[in-house]
Amino acid sequence: MDKKIDVLDKGYVRLVSTMGNDLTVVNSARVSYDKASHEMDDKDKRLIRFLAKNLHTSPFRHSMLQFEVYSPLLVARQHWKYIVGSDFRDPLTGAWNESSRRYITEEPEFYVIGSDQWRNVPESSKQGSGECLSLEIGDKWTRELTEHYDQSLEKYEQAMKDGVCVEQARVFLPAYALYVRYYWTASLQAVAHFINQRLAHDAQKEIQEYARATLLLTQSEFPHSIEELVG
């Protein structure tokens, strides 16, 4: 299994592995009656619908998904909220491992906002974003952004040439725009929770794109469960 969807300018979401399928959900629910299904039928689909509708979520926690994600830090830190505070008793528990620039010096990559992608401040909210700004303004700030990245990268590389350790030299890199790579492993219920929250209309546009990619990849393995879990 190696399914991957490109996101933004350089990012992606890759489905690394899964444990279970829609039948796992069904059979986890039916074990109370010492029954099991071996092939999905309409009765099983109705059971999944019943479980999701009535918030009987434990059967959805017997299936797991592992993703590799490459995203700007501004997305990764929002995604991280679905891990912080979790423990083995938490129904949304999962695992997260991220690349570290204390140990690696691979070529830094930054999220470059295209000229047609800069957004204005929304009139109805103090946070988030609204409509796209004009191309004239967008051109200006895309140029400013790339110049900022070039200058920061030059300082980062020069500091290391002067003998500064990697873990300190990295402070010259524009953090929120810097791409990071991480593995996220979570239950089917946790993945659906992330998708529902981050596909909402008021979620940040960039993380909406990652949620959309996660949805498509999860649908390919759990089509019936995702149809009922994602509103």
pLDDT of res. 106: 73
- Asked whether residue 74 falls in the same domain as residue 187, the answer is yes
**Statement to judge: residues 28 and 127 lie in one domain:** no
- Domain range spanning residue 134? 110-177
Residues 77 and 24 in one domain: yes
Same domain flag for 98 and 210:
yes
Question: pTM for the complete prediction?
Answer: 0.88
d(CA 87, CA 186): 12
Q: Which two tokens stand for residue 139?
A: 């051109």
Number of residues that make up the chain: 231
pLDDT for 85 equals 41
Nearest-angstrom CA–CA distance, 42 and 217: 23
Is 14 labeled as catalytic in the residue annotation?
A: no
Determine the pLDDT at residue 46: 95
133 and 97 together in one domain? no
Do 198 and 208 reside in the same domain of the chain? yes
Show pLDDT as tens, one digit a residue, over the chain (231 residues): 569 999 999 999 999 999 999 999 999 998 877 777 888 999 999 999 999 999 999 999 999 999 999 999 999 999 988 775 444 445 455 677 777 766 666 788 999 999 999 999 887 766 778 888 999 999 999 999 999 999 999 999 999 999 999 889 999 999 899 999 999 999 999 999 999 999 998 899 999 999 999 999 999 999 999 999 998
The pLDDT score that the predictor gives to residue 41 is 92
Coil, strand, or helix at residue 130? coil
Query: Does 13 share its domain with 121?
Result: no
Question: Which two structure tokens, joined as six digits, stand for 190?
Answer: 């946790």
Amino acid at 212: R
Check which CATH number belongs to the domain holding 221 and give it. Answer: 3.30.1360.170
Distance from CA of residue 69 to its chain's centroid?
7
Residue 121: its pLDDT value, please? 86
Between CA 111 and CA 117, with CA 112 as vertex, the angle to 5 degrees is 115
Q: What share of the chain is helix, strand, coil (3-state, %, to 5)?
A: 50, 20, 35
Note whether 116 and 94 are same-domain residues.
Answer: no
Residue 103 is predicted with a pLDDT of 64
Candidate list 77, 89, 198, 212, residue with the active-site label: 198
Give tens-digit pLDDT for 171-225. Answer: 999 989 999 999 999 999 999 999 999 999 889 999 999 999 999 999 999 999 9
pLDDT of residue 81: 83
Alpha helix segments (H runs only) across the chain: 22-30, 42-53, 73-79, 135-161, 166-169, 188-198, 205-221, 223-229
The pLDDT of residue 123 is 78
